[in-house]
């Protein structure tokens, strides 16, 4: 394999892993919201660590409200 191909492949794998991790973090946030277990510290940590905006968080909260 050429070095360029290896870099491209590694980049694509990293992007896919990041998407999956973000999806898992979103699912975790949703579960915490559903169970009324999302406190300020965990909300802050998860949103910063996985780059969620307040709009993203509000969208999740709205989804949970609609499901209830």
Q: Given a cut of 90, is residue 47 above it in pLDDT?
A: no
Long-range contacts formed by 46-52: CB under 8 A, 24+ apart: 49/25, 50/21, 50/22, 50/25, 50/26, 51/22, 52/25, 52/26
Sign of the torsion formed by the C-alpha atoms of 11, 13, 14 and 18: positive
pTM: 0.77
pLDDT tens-digit readout, 29-44? 999 999 999 999 988 9
Residues sharing a CB contact under 8 Å with residue 32, sequence separation 6 or more, in sequence order: 38, 42
Sign of the torsion formed by the C-alpha atoms of 65, 37, 22 and 44: positive
């Amino acid at each position: 394999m050429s070095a360029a191909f290896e870099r491209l492949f590694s980049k694509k794998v990293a992007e896919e892993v990041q998407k999956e991790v973000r999806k898992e973090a979103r699912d975790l946030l949703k579960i915490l919201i559903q169970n009324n277990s999302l406190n300020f510290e965990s909300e802050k940590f998860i949103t910063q660590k996985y780059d969620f905006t307040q709009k993203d968080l509000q969208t999740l909260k709205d989804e949970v409200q609609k499901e209830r």
